[in-house]
Amino acid sequence: MQPVSRFGNGGNLYGNPSTMGMQIPQNRGYNTGYANPSLGMMISNSFGGAGMQQTGMNVQQTLQEKERQIQQLKSQYPNIQHKNVSNNNQPVDLVEINLKIQTNEVQLQVPLALIIDVRFPLIAPKIYVRSKLKHNLFDVRDQVIELDVNNVTQWVPQQTTLSEVIAKLKTIFEKDPPKQEKIIEEVNKLLGVVTEQNFRDLVEADCLSNRSVEELRQLQGISFQELICSSPEYKKIGQNLLDVINFNEKIANELLQKKEDLEQHKQQLLLVSERIESLTSEYNDRIGQCKKFKDAFSRQNLEGFVQKEIKNLDSQSLSLETVAQNSQGNIFDVLQQYLDTRKNFHRLNILKLKLPELKYQ
């Protein structure tokens, strides 16, 4: 929240609502038609074709009716903005209106965005509010404020128009204005206490001609500055200035407190980030070890290892046969080594035959 400027925005907190960005919600079903908005233009053959036959409208007539209603809105609301955009890969019309609401108690602007589907006017438009306001008509979803047209007026194709919806919505808001956030209400209240006319009244105030002779005699020794400062106009402006200063001090203290809280959250996030990096490194190391283990026990490596060992054992068997034939060393030890070698040789041959039957993921 920025500190309040005493002379900002002419008593209205809202600037240009068009600067408040809004993304068209994606992948959200239409309340007035189909739950799957991705049906898009394909529905024009099923729903659109049958629906148009029932209503007596073809594609060209629906396009003309949509353009007619948009032009009607433009004639009634000069600040309207109209452009073609894409929603869920389907073309739609985006109409932005800055709806001004003025009553005895409140003066505000309600920026609206109308999303007009290709099936319009067979289905009602979607309406979104592009400002943080509260009202019983509003439905907040994913920080996007939606407004159901049928809560304003029942949408009847070829009967209900966009202008009618906006007019009825404005009437509702004038009787029951949307609520602003408490901080915004406080700011607008401060900005509305003193106006430009109050300063003009102070400048034009005649502090002497309406006083009696006795009152003028009592003013001897009082400076002109003291006389001005004692006027009700000056007191009102001065008190408002003090209120604004106190309000800015309050907001500044709240922002400082929020800054400290954000610093704490920042430190916590840094610790979490470091922990995530550490776990990520450990995870990558384990993945690398698992990959090495997997590669080591791949079919190709196992077959190569078994084939190599079979050749080695066969060579050892031949060497032991040579030793036995030459009667070198203890014949029983040589015989035992030979038998052990041949056992391993035959085991590996059996394993070699079984390897093709192994299943690898």
CA distances from 335 to 316, 322, 359, 361 (A): 12, 11, 38, 43
pTM value is 0.43
Domain boundary assignment for the chain: 9-179, 194-296, 299-357
Q: Using a pLDDT cut of 90, give the percent of the chain over it.
A: 16
Question: Helix, strand, coil: what percent of the chain each, to 5?
Answer: 60, 15, 30
Residue 279 has pLDDT above 90, yes or no: yes
Q: In angstroms, rounded to a whole number, what is the distance separating the alpha carbons of residues 233 and 202?
A: 5
- Quick: pLDDT tens for 212-263: 767 666 666 666 666 677 777 778 888 888 888 888 888 888 888 889 889 9
- Quick: pLDDT tens for 89-124: 788 999 999 888 887 777 788 889 999 988 888 889
CA distances from 117 to 47, 153, 252 (A): 13, 18, 46
Instruction: For domain 9-179, give the CATH superfamily.
Output: Ubiquitin Conjugating Enzyme (3.10.110.10)
Cβ partners under 8 Å of residue 27, min gap 6: 37, 38, 88
- The residues with which 77 forms a beta bridge, in sequence order, are none
Question: How many Cα atoms within 13 Å fall on the side-chain side of residue 14?
Answer: 21
- The residues with which 180 forms a beta bridge, in sequence order, are 133
Alpha-carbon Rg of the chain, whole angstroms? 42
- Quick: pLDDT tens for 129-151: 988 888 888 888 777 888 888 88
Split at pLDDT 50, 70, 90, the class of 56 is low
- Give the phi and the psi of residue 16 in degrees, each rounded to 5: -90, 110
